[in-house]
Structure 1
Amino acid sequence: AAVVVPNGTLFGDGVAARIKEELLKNFNLHTIVRLPEGVFAPYTDIPANLLFFDRSGQHRIFGITRFLPQKAAKIHQTKPIQTDEFTIA
């Protein structure tokens, strides 16, 4: 399964911290894909993350992938993310 969350879910306090704790305690969070600001423009410029997890048990080890576009152009419907623009962090 996968879910899109803002950065605050990974680094915030309060409710965000509880959500993160539940994910790590009850699921195997195996991959985080960090998306750049503006990927959901014009709706929001908040940086977001894709969290991939399964029900195979508690969190073990995961990979982190950053999306860093070669150009400063924003991602949008007519310029989607390309596979070769991802790097393993």
Structure 2
Amino acid sequence: MPIEPARGLLLLGNHKSKHLREFQDRKTTLVKEARSLTEHAASKNRELTGKEVSAFDALRTRNDASSVAIGREAALIADENG
């Protein structure tokens, strides 16, 4: 069964745990926030400001942590299913 934690769209059989959905939702929100930062700068025809870069980097760090959490939860689901 392939596990794709980076995509945040993991389905194992018909079972998706509550925790997995929460982690995936968190990751989706973080990606949207990061995208909003880059789109805002692009709409102004400029690069990210230093403050925006810091915010973007913090979002990416949290996103990476979410990916790890998704992978752990997916592994648990796989183990539980068999």
Task: Give TM-score scaled by structure 1 length.
Answer: 0.25
Higher relative CO (Cα under 8 Å, sequence separation at least 6) belongs to 2
Q: Which has the higher helix share?
A: 2
Q: Which has the higher strand share?
A: 1
Q: Which has the higher Rg, Structure 1 or Structure 2?
A: 2
Task: Give TM-score scaled by structure 2 length.
Answer: 0.26
